[in-house]
Amino acid sequence: MSTRIENKQTKADNNTSIDELLELEAKYCSWGDTVHYSKQPNIFKRAEGSFLYDNEGTEFLDLQMWYSAVNFGYKNKRLNDALKKQIDTLPQLACQYLHEEKIRLAAKLAQKSEMAFEEKGRVHFNVGGSQALEDSLKLVRNHSGRSLVFAFMGGYHGRTLAASAITSSFRYRERFGHFGERALFIPYPYCFRCPYDKKKDFCDFYCIKQFGKLFETEYHSVVNKKNNKCEFAAFYVEPIQGTGGYIIPPQEYFARLKEVLDEYNILLIDDEIQMGFYRTGKFWALEHFNVTPDIIVFGKALTNGLNPISGVWAKEKLISPDVFPPGSTHSTFSSNPQGTAAGLEVMKLIEDADFNVSIPKKGRYFVSRLRQLQKKYPQIGDVDGLGLALRMEICEKDGFTPNRELTEEIERIGLSGKLCAGGKQRGLVLDVGGYYKNVFTMAPSFYITEKEIDLGVELFEEALIKALKNS
């Protein structure tokens, strides 16, 4: 099992017992992050490939990979070596000065985006996803002179104040006062649980029609019909809704949405923080949907979870030095050389790989294995995937009513590290998301093998059987 509270005798490296560590944690660590969503948080010690290891050496297959930040596998040698080389040459540099890796990384990202969307643009770096998102809000305000934006119900854009203001959950804002510029939240095309109770094959994009209705008269409060000026400057989208449950919209959805946005001069802001860098089988997830964004926000997998770098790509007209001059935004660690070195190597690794072929292939295999399980267990309500962004909804026996308790029990059993496969004690790391917290959002390593996928399915089934017995 992973190192857990009841595990009194286990010693950590520095001879501190795990119990002592957890006591220190209880006393000195803020519990304001997400660690204590779990009653018995795990302490991990080592990581490699698709696996995490605890103090006792128990192997945990990880199907979430730091919420899709470690797309290229734990301890990826090529990326780690690039970082080590940077540490030995230019480990630190104030971001006021230039270094080669920053320039080359920005160029590669801008060239890749230009290839994808036939638009020239520039890149601005920051440290975490939420900070980059805040930079994008500055670009939007600077360009439009307006500060209100649309975002999706179920959307997640981070937890700094501005990012929380466009993240749909009130829970994340509840204790932090009034958010004047909070987004107007529009239903996401979550077809398995259509917010309008429609059926996908017959709805004729009813949700887009409803959004369009907002613009029908001035009394719907978003547009001045005399000059067609909209009070809302931009629409923030996740092409695949991440924390919302890896929800995949219908193929035509974004093109139809864009028709409305273009009519009222509303910018399309593409949050690729979780789905970017090939998670869905394309460099940017929005490439699946034949629309061009005005701004892309990215983070997470750019450095494979090593020294973090996030950033924005924006169309030239939004970010050229004429309109976004020096000093418009800044953070001490924004283009730190260790992060840019790791990011640059990620881009080179992507150029050398065939992810556009291997990821869809692995994704199809994984989904087919999960659908086999679905046939055996009515509690598996929906299985879907795009590339290696996979989802599985856990429900009551009717295959629809969300079953949060069962989902949490499966997650807990996986993390207890007491599963058994191939004659070995093992664990399974799963991430839970979705509006009803009943969706396993799976983001395995891009290097996961068929054998490891089979292992994941075997471990999941074992956890499910145990959880059903306990319920």
Ligand X SMILES: Cc1ncc(COP(=O)(O)O)c(C=O)c1O
Interacting residue ranges for ligand X, rule: CB under 6 A: 67, 128-130, 133, 156-158, 238, 242-243, 271, 273-274, 299
Minimum Å gap between C-beta 132 and ligand X is 8
- State the minimum distance, in angstroms, from the CB of residue 158 to ligand X: 3
Of 126, 100, 138, the residue nearest 300 (C-alpha)? 126
CB of 242 to ligand X, least distance (A): 4
Residue closest to ligand X when measured from CB atoms: 129
Strand 148-152 with 232-237, pairing: parallel
Q: Are strands 389-394 and 380-386 parallel, antiparallel or unpaired?
A: antiparallel
Collapsed DSSP state (helix, strand, coil) of residue 261: helix
Least Cα distance to 460 among 417, 396, 414 occurs for 414
- Give the type of residue at 229: K
Shortest CB 133 distance to ligand X, Å: 6
Report helix, strand or coil for 455. helix
Strand 51-54 versus strand 44-48 pairing type: antiparallel
234, 262 in Cβ contact below 8 A? no
CB of 201 to ligand X, least distance (A): 28
Give the nearest distance from C-beta 157 to ligand X in angstroms.
5
Burial class (CB in 10 A: 0-12, 13-18, 19+), 127: buried
- Return d(Cα 152, Cα 157) in angstroms, integer: 10
Torsion of CA 405, 410, 416, 421, to 10 degrees: 160
Are residues 167 and 196 in contact, defined by beta-carbon separation less than 8 angstroms? no
Amino acid at 165: A
User: Measured from the CB of residue 60, what is the shortest distance to ligand X in angstroms?
Assistant: 21
C-beta closer to ligand X: residue 53 or 66: 66
**What's the closest the beta carbon of residue 187 comes to ligand X, in angstroms?**
18
Query: Would strands 184-186 and 310-315 be described as parallel, antiparallel, or unpaired?
Result: unpaired
Give the nearer residue to ligand X in terms of CB position, either 124 or 369: 124
Q: In the complex with ligand X, which residue's Cβ is closer, 274 or 416?
A: 274
Q: Which is nearer to ligand X, 187 or 212 (CB)?
A: 187
Place of tokens 């801008």: 110
Q: Which two tokens stand for residue 269?
A: 């802001």
The encoded tokens of residue 259 equal 């028709």
Residue nearer to ligand X on the CB measure, 153 or 421: 153
Nearer Cβ to ligand X (159/348)? 159
Residue 437 is classified by DSSP as S
Judged by beta carbon, residue 7 or residue 243, the one nearer ligand X is 243
CB closer to ligand X, 299 vs 343: 299
Q: Which is nearer to ligand X, 67 or 283 (CB)?
A: 67
CB of 368 to ligand X, least distance (A): 26
Q: How far is CA 338 from the centre of its chain?
A: 22
